[in-house]
């Protein structure tokens, strides 16, 4: 499992940036003193192609055998990562049947 890996979205420039530092508060939460930067933490989970899944990623669910495609968004809430589709929340799911299709910033 990947630990303490982050991705940084620059809101004004509308692109991911590298080499941005992360500071933690005493309570363990992330300090984001820059309003123009959106921080996404890595979930430590990988999709079926081996891609790491970050907060804000949109994944396609291949577990269902249906003509309806199901997309889920990865999010961190209440101390754990989950997947949300607007109606349902999934936790502790086998993500090897998922494929990262994009993210909430670029798509």
Tell me which of 53 and 4 has the higher pLDDT: 53
The pLDDT of residue 49 is above 70: yes
Mean pLDDT of all residues in the chain? Answer: 85
Q: Are 91 and 43 spatial neighbours (Cβ–Cβ below 8 Å)?
A: no
Three-state DSSP class for 97?
A: helix
**Residue 87: per-residue pLDDT:** 85
Give the pLDDT mean for 3-17: 87
Query: In this predicted model, what pLDDT tens digit does every residue of 50-67 receive, in sequence order?
Result: 999 999 999 998 876 556
Q: Are 60 and 70 spatial neighbours (Cβ–Cβ below 8 Å)?
A: yes
**Residue 1: per-residue pLDDT:** 47
Residues in the chain: 107
């Amino acid at each position: 499992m990947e630990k303490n890996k982050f991705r940084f979205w620059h809101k004004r420039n509308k692109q991911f940036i590298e080499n941005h530092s992360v500071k933690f508060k005493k309570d363990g939460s992330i300090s984001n003193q820059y309003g123009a930067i959106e921080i996404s933490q890595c979930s430590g989970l990988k999709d079926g192609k081996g891609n790491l899944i970050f907060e804000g990623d949109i994944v396609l669910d291949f577990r269902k055998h249906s003509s309806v495609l199901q997309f889920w968004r990865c999010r961190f809430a209440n101390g754990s990562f989950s997947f949300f589709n607007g109606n349902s929340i999934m936790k502790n799911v086998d993500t090897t049947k998922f494929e990262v299709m994009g993210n909430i910033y670029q798509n």
